[in-house]
């Protein structure tokens, strides 16, 4: 394991773009979903403005005044499109399985903190058969404010009973990195949805995948 990670007590993982390299499928699903609203989206706009945010927040922008039930129904509609697209392709980010095994063996506490809805978290963690590695799972239905607000990462560290300063977050999105840093946590940035140079320089590490930090 990388030396900069060995003195930490907990690893907290974002999901989309970190546990799975799936951002292109989310973009395709969102393009299909937005047709009913007469809107289009570019890959660049998704990567810089939407990645890391919750689908519920986007739905509220698309339909101001929508009821909570309508927001959740539309959110599930978009995510079902995504799951249908990705189901045949779901695979862990390169090196993830070995890294999780290594971290678990070392006694590291681990959590998932994702902007996804519960159904997507279940789809990913159970689809990859990795749920048993994690001591806590926090999704967007469990917080009031999504990333870049620090709430989701603070909730994860609280569930792990580990101080934020002793946590490392694995993130790929700018909103998520801001969230983790605002929570007082170090960040390892994966350049899956963004280019390496687009990740901020004031983070602990930048990696392409988990193989780079398994040794």
For residue 38, give the nearest of 62, 59, 55 by alpha carbon.
Answer: 62
Domain boundary among 86, 105, 133: 86
Which of 86, 111, 140 is where one domain is finished? 86
Instruction: Report which of 107, 84, 106 is spatially closest to residue 29, judged by C-alpha positions.
Output: 84
Q: Sort strands 136-138 and 167-171 into parallel, antiparallel or unpaired.
A: unpaired
Kindly list the catalytic residues. Answer: 14, 16
Asked whether residue 199 falls in the same domain as residue 146, the answer is yes
**Same domain for 67 and 100?**
no
Look-up of token digits 């039930």: 69
Query: What whole-number distance in Å separates Cα of residue 157 and Cα of residue 175?
Result: 18
Q: 203 and 142, same structural domain?
A: yes
Do 119 and 14 lie in a common domain? Answer: yes
Rounded to an integer, the average pLDDT of 4-25 is 95
Residue of 75, 30, 69 whose CA lies nearest to 50 = 30
Task: Identify the CATH number of the domain in which residue 113 sits.
Answer: 3.40.50.1000
Give mean pLDDT, residues 182-195. 95
31, 58, 86 - which closes a domain: 86
Peptide bond into 165 cis (omega under 30): no
pLDDT at 51: 75
Q: What is the pLDDT of residue 117?
A: 92
Domain that holds residue 46: 23-86
Same domain for 98 and 193, yes or no, is yes
Residues 45 and 121 in one domain: no
Which pLDDT band, with edges at 50, 70 and 90, does 85 fall under? very high
Query: pLDDT-based confidence at 155, cuts 50/70/90?
Result: very high
pLDDT for residue 109 = 98
Higher pLDDT, 54 or 187: 187
Q: What is the CATH number of the domain that holds 44?
A: 1.10.150
User: What pTM value is reported for the model?
Assistant: 0.92
112-122 per-position pLDDT tens digit = 999 999 999 99
Going by pLDDT thresholds of 50, 70 and 90, the confidence category of residue 65 is confident
pLDDT number for residue 46: 84
- The answer to whether 22 and 86 are in contact (CB under 8 A) is yes
Residue 73 has pLDDT above 90, yes or no: yes
């Amino acid at each position: 394991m990388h030396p900069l990670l060995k003195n930490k007590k907990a690893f907290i993982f974002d999901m989309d773009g970190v546990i799975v390299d799936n951002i292109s499928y989310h973009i395709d699903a969102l393009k299909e979903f937005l047709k009913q609203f007469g809107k289009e989206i570019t890959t660049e706009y998704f990567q810089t403005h939407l990645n890391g945010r919750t689908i519920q927040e986007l739905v509220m922008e698309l339909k101001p005044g929508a009821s909570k039930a309508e927001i959740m129904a539309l959110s599930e509609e978009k995510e079902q499109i995504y799951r249908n697209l990705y189901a045949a392709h779901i695979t862990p980010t390169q090196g993830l399985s070995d890294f999780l095994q290594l971290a678990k063996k070392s006694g590291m506490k681990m959590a998932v903190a994702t902007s996804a809805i519960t159904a997507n978290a279940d789809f990913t963690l159970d689809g990859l058969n990795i749920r048993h590695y994690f001591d806590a799972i926090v999704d967007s239905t469990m917080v009031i404010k999504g990333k870049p607000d620090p709430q989701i990462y603070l909730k994860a560290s609280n569930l792990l009973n580990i101080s934020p300063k002793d946590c490392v977050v694995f993130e790929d999105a700018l909103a998520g990195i801001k969230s983790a840093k605002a929570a007082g946590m170090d960040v390892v940035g994966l350049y899956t949805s963004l280019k390496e140079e687009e990740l901020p320089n004031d983070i602990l590490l930048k990696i392409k995948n988990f193989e780079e930090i398994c040794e």
